[in-house]
Amino acid sequence: MESQDFQNTIQFALEREREAVTFYQQCSQRTTRPGMKEAFIEMADEESKHVRMLEGFKPEQVEKVKLREIPDLKIGDYLVDQSFEPDMAYKDLLILAMKREE
């Protein structure tokens, strides 16, 4: 992979991960259900870890990475898109997160 292509790919991934952090933080502030605030904060924290990982990733590390194929179970294909609702149930949070990850 060319250096510029690598940088563009990392930049794209960083933008998406930062967007996810912001989204889950906003959801944690807007939710009305007990326990959901913590769930959204955990999701934001997980996405923040992804940001830190990508920020530290260097082109020379690409050759050292061992990729293994992970089968797509296509679970998301059977779920209806979910949008944020302040009183959403935990199962709906999981669907929302799964669809956003797609």
pLDDT at residue number 61: 76
User: 81 near 101, Cβ under 8 Å?
Assistant: no
Q: What is the DSSP letter of 79?
A: S
- Six-digit token string for 96: 């929302």
> pLDDT of 45-91, one tens digit each?
999 999 999 998 887 777 777 778 989 889 999 999 999 999 999 99
Q: Are 83 and 96 a contacting pair, CB within 8 Å?
A: yes
| pLDDT value at 96 more than 60 | yes
6 band by pLDDT with thresholds 50, 70 and 90: confident
Are the C-beta atoms of residues 21 and 52 closer than 8 Å to each other?
Answer: no
- Name the pLDDT band for 28 (thresholds 50, 70, 90): very high
* Cα gap 94→28, rounded to integer Å: 14
> What pLDDT shows up at residue 1?
57
Say which DSSP state 61 is in.
G
